[in-house]
Amino acid sequence: MATKGYAAPEVQTNLHAGARNWAAGGGNSSALPILWETVGRVLCWGTSTRRAHELAEAVPPAAQSSQDPLLLVEAHYALGATLLQLGEFATARRAL
């Protein structure tokens, strides 16, 4: 990341893999800052809003299973933010 930047394909692949592994494992509130950072980096400095959205879609189910209210709020925010970037305003509003 430090030498190639956030938009480098291998960085994007690694960020996505880590976030998907987190979500597949049922989530963990201690990893929330890392996950949110990943979604933000992919969305803001990455090359694909669509990929950021795919990543964000996996977060609410994992957050729900963790029963951590902070994680659930952040999960819906991540999902809503990507939907806004995609121009899906009604769906974004429901997520947010």
Per the structure block, which two tokens stand in for 41?
């980096």
Mean pLDDT of the chain: 75
Q: How high is the pLDDT of residue 47?
A: 60
Please give the residue range of the domain that contains residue 41.
31-95
Number of structural domains in the chain:
1
pLDDT of 26 strictly over 80: no
Closest CA to 18 of 54, 55, 71: 55
Distance CA 96, CA 74 (A): 9
Q: How high is the pLDDT of residue 91?
A: 95
Inside any domain, residue 26 = no
Inside any domain, residue 75 = yes
* pLDDT (tens digit per residue) in 41-88: 666 555 677 877 877 887 787 778 777 888 788 888 888 988 888 899
pLDDT of 18 strictly over 90: no
